[in-house]
Amino acid sequence: MSPVDALRIALRSILTNGLRSFLTALGMVIGVGSVIVLIAVGQGAQKGIQEQIRSLGTDLLFITPGVSETQGGGPGGAFGSATLTLEDAELLEEAGITGLQGVAPELSLDVQGISDDGNVGVTLVGTTSDYLTVREESLAAGGFISDLNVERTELVAVLGSEAAETLYPNGDAIGQTVRVAIAGGRLNLNYTVIGVMAPNGSADAEQDTFVFVPITSILSRIGFARGAGGTGGGTPVNQINVRTTPDADKAAVSRQIESVLAFEHGVAEPDFVVQTQDDLLGAAGDVGTTLSILLGSIAAISLVVGGIGVMNIMLVSVTERTREIGIRRAVGARRSDIMVQFVTEALALCIGGGAIGIAIGIGVAEFLDGRVIAGSEMATIIQPWSVFAAFAVAAGIGLAAGTYPALRASKLDPIDALRAD
């Protein structure tokens, strides 16, 4: 039997049982489409995270607290076992580290921002005047925290764009007073708004809800912050941002920072973590790859289920067409012809379903790209290898699902087959 004849017979059989064939192929359509869509979503999420990290700037280092050898991992006040302090940031500025351009400490608290026009949950970020240049942020109106504000521990604030829009919908935030409720309202501080940040956009939209204040305005007024204590008994911070010069060797700068702070803390192993953007990009890439594998594996399950459905239908088809097989054998068809006939039919179902699944998967992935779902903008990247892999798996499943029923059909005795009802 020629391949053309086998395909013609397979298509005729498929069309004869149109609804059953459609339902059988539907499993492959869903499976292939799901693989393409879910991998596209995983790849889009990976790219989105990496773009957010890159948007922070190309010359940033982030120093975050680790676990103190003396404090262990237990709680140490409101900031846990803090191992970074404001004094550490000041030390780095004065250490003369080659390639270091600027240092900006951060102390963050989740608080409630309250004005006459509304209230909203915001992140209160205590920092210094260097934050704006270190993080390469920009202002939409007013000014940023100055060295004098920090020195005098003044109650002045700079609002993120979203926080300003919520608290002052009329756009008159500058000069207004925003009340910050800390620890569920047990402590309230009134800050005068001196500036509004420009929208950060999709790169790091969370910063649009920040309220920036002089770090000393928090430390001088909140007892639990002063008492939390870092490794050297100083005032704790959540993070220290470091900007390097464009031509600096970031690995060398990281090593110098580790050396200076480890000596200051009196520890053999750093009780803090220094991360470069390359580290963050690598971690984001690993997470994205794992997510894509997980999503692809989940979708692949539906491919396997679809393959089981194809095999089941082909076994039923062999039983229903026993007399037809007997007639074909009686007029000279060989066992190999019978096998080719049923394998071709299974392949046609799976490959046809796979082709439709590819079209639907690409269409859905393109539709989702840029759509806002559950408050988040979706990003999808269709990977050619995922399309090829899904189609190849569908064809392989068709071959596997058709082989056993075809083998069973080829072994039927022609006389017994002709006697079948």
- pLDDT tens digits for range 52-99: 666 665 688 888 887 544 444 433 334 444 678 888 988 998 888 888
Please give the structure tokens belonging to residue 105.
């400490």
CA dihedral of residues 331, 334, 339, 340 (deg, nearest 10): -90
Asked if 179 and 190 touch (Cβ cutoff 8 Å), the reply is yes
Length of the chain equals 421
Percent of the chain exceeding pLDDT 70 equals 85
Between 317 and 70, whose confidence is greater? 317
SS3 26: helix
Lowest-confidence segment of 86-90, 108-112, 282-286, 306-310 by average pLDDT? 282-286
Q: What mean pLDDT is predicted for residues 338-352?
A: 82
DSSP string over 222-278: -HHHHHH--TTS--B-SEEEEEE-TT--HHHHHHHHHHHHHHHHT-SS-SEEEEEHH
Distance of alpha carbon 266 from the chain centroid: 38
Residue 126 has a pLDDT of 92
Residue 416 has a pLDDT of 63
Lowest-confidence segment of 5-9, 171-175, 251-255 by average pLDDT? 5-9
Rounded-to-integer distance, Cα 401 and Cα 22, Å:
16
List, in sequence order, the alpha helices (H) in 266-334: 277-320, 322-330
Residue 74 has a pLDDT of 36
Inform me whether the pLDDT recorded for 233 exceeds 70.
no
Residue 80 has a pLDDT of 43
Rounded-to-integer distance, Cα 389 and Cα 296, Å:
11
Inform me whether the pLDDT recorded for 419 exceeds 70.
no
Residue 157 has a pLDDT of 94
Query: Of 271, 279, 282, nearest to 251 (Cα)?
Result: 279
Query: Of 187, 216, 236, 191, nearest to 126 (Cα)?
Result: 216
Rounded-to-integer distance, Cα 213 and Cα 192, Å:
10
pLDDT band at 352 (very low <50, low <70, confident <90, very high): confident
Percent of the chain exceeding pLDDT 90 equals 17
Inform me whether the pLDDT recorded for 202 exceeds 60.
no
Residue 230 has a pLDDT of 44
- Angstrom CA distances, 70 to 74, 76, 230, 261, stand at 10, 11, 11, 16
Between 281 and 340, whose confidence is greater? 340
Asked if 167 and 113 touch (Cβ cutoff 8 Å), the reply is yes
Rounded-to-integer distance, Cα 98 and Cα 244, Å:
9
Strands 187-197 and 156-159 come out as parallel
Rounded-to-integer distance, Cα 103 and Cα 287, Å:
29
SS3 156: strand
Lowest-confidence segment of 87-91, 160-164, 318-322, 341-345 by average pLDDT? 318-322
